């Protein structure tokens, strides 16, 4: 078995002859203001490792940008193509992460737990001084960035996890996760017709409910962008590029739903969202790594991405993208998505 979890997107996925089931994050330590788990928030101590191909990792990349944590939490971007030794740092000079000094993410996992038998997943936060993995808990990670790391947020950072809205947010996010974020994977990695059809039905039922919800409101919960929007966006931005064809979620495309297509474009054009998206990495990873789904490894030329920057008119619904805050600044030097990888 390969270290990255049979070549799937984030190492928390398994597919084969058994029905698809996402495993729980094995390393669920938290980095908190009080350091209760032994990992205190500290500027410059930790490194966030992502793949721009992975929707779960993209959540962390967006949150980090919106909150202005770039100087406090450094970023490592892996190659979109894994090999049997896990996510690799072949995009960096010499094929080695310049801060951690490792060639493969599994080295940080091994430093934490030698011969750990599970998948090597992103996003992952690594303790730079020790080289040890701290957490790969993608569900909790962004919530902690929004709350526990608040002392290091930029001036004007938005409140992505408003306390008064949390109950409603979790209700919305749970449905989105079950039926859509994870539902596309259940459809794509299904090993039987009934299993596939059930997942397919969940995906489009949830898309229909979301379209109704967003028809007269700009954002999912409240009047501003929250964690709920981030979690929905990372699936929507991949829908036509990979999920529609590669995962057989083909009842209709995102561009054929006027509400969701406008909503997705609105977020894409918001600083902190689209500037983290790398369509080249997304397509190459899914189509080249998932050989069980796409044995030829051929990467489709389409879809046309130019419309992502077209007017969306969602501002007519009101709302304030950053609430009482302000947009994030420019993408830091060295973190830009390469030219030609986005519209």
* Assigned domain for 71 exists: no
Catalytic annotation, pick one of 15, 161, 185, 243: 185
Does the annotation mark 54 as catalytic? Answer: yes
Catalytic annotation, pick one of 54, 161, 200, 243: 54
* Assigned domain for 269 exists: yes
Pair of tokens at residue 38: 């032994």
Pair of tokens at residue 70: 């770039």
Total domains in the fold of the chain: 1
Domain span including residue 254: 165-317
- Can you give the pLDDT at residue 21? 60
Residue 83 pairs with which residues in a beta bridge?
A: 86
Q: Band of the pLDDT at 83, cuts 50, 70, 90?
A: confident
- CA 254-260-263 angle, 5° bins: 125
Does the annotation mark 185 as catalytic? Answer: yes
Q: Diameter of the chain by CA atoms?
A: 54
Please, are residues 134 and 105 in contact by the beta-carbon 8 Å criterion?
A: no
* Assigned domain for 214 exists: yes
Please, are residues 167 and 173 in contact by the beta-carbon 8 Å criterion?
A: no
Q: Band of the pLDDT at 22, cuts 50, 70, 90?
A: low
Kindly report, residue by residue over 284-336, the tens digit of the pLDDT. Answer: 999 999 999 999 999 999 999 999 999 999 999 999 999 999 999 999 999 99
Please, are residues 52 and 10 in contact by the beta-carbon 8 Å criterion?
A: no
Mean pLDDT of the chain: 93
* Assigned domain for 120 exists: no
Does 235 or 6 have the greater pLDDT score? 235
* Assigned domain for 92 exists: no
C-alpha dihedral sign at 237, 239, 242, 243: positive
* Assigned domain for 248 exists: yes
- What lies within 8 Å, CB to CB, of 297 at 6+ separation is 287, 288, 291
Q: Band of the pLDDT at 109, cuts 50, 70, 90?
A: very high
Give the CATH number of the domain where residue 226 resides: 1.20.1050.10
* Assigned domain for 333 exists: no
* Alpha carbons 69 and 153: distance in angstroms, whole number: 6
- Can you give the pLDDT at residue 52? 98
CB count in 10 Å sphere of residue 71: 11
* Assigned domain for 16 exists: no
């Amino acid at each position: 078995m390969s270290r990255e979890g049979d070549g799937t997107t984030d190492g928390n996925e398994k597919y084969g002859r058994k029905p698809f089931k996402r495993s729980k994050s094995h390393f669920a330590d938290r980095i908190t203001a009080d350091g209760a788990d032994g990992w205190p928030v500290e500027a410059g101590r930790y490194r966030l490792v992502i793949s721009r191909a992975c929707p779960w990792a993209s959540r962390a990349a967006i949150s980090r940008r919106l909150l202005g944590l770039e100087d406090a939490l450094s970023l490592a971007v892996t190659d979109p193509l894994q090999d049997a030794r896990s996510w690799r740092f072949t995009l960096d000079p010499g094929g080695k992460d310049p801060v951690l000094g490792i060639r493969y993410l599994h080295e940080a996992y091994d430093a934490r737990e030698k011969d750990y038998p599970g998948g090597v997943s992103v996003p992952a936060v690594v303790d730079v001084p020790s080289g040890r993995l701290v957490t790969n808990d993608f569900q909790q990670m962004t919530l902690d960035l929004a709350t526990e790391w608040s002392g290091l947020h930029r001036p004007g950072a938005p409140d992505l996890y408003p306390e008064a809205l949390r109950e409603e947010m979790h209700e919305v996010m749970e449905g989105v996760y079950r039926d859509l974020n994870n539902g596309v994977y259940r459809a794509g990695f299904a090993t039987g017709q009934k299993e596939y059809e059930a997942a397919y039905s969940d995906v489009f039922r949830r898309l229909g409910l979301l379209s109704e919800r967003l028809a007269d409101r700009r954002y999912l919960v409240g009047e501003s962008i929250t964690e709920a929007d981030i979690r929905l966006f990372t699936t929507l931005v991949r829908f036509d590029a990979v999920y529609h064809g590669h995962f057989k979620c083909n009842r209709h495309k995102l561009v054929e739903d006027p509400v969701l297509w406008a909503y997705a474009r609105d977020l894409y054009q918001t600083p902190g969202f689209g500037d983290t998206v790398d369509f080249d990495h997304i397509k190459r990873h899914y189509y080249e790594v998932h050989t069980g789904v796409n044995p030829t490894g051929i990467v489709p030329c389409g879809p046309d991405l130019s419309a992502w920057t077209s007017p969306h008119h969602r501002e007519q619904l009101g709302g304030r993208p950053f609430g009482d805050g302000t947009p994030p600044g420019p993408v830091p030097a060295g973190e830009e998505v390469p030219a030609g990888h986005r519209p």
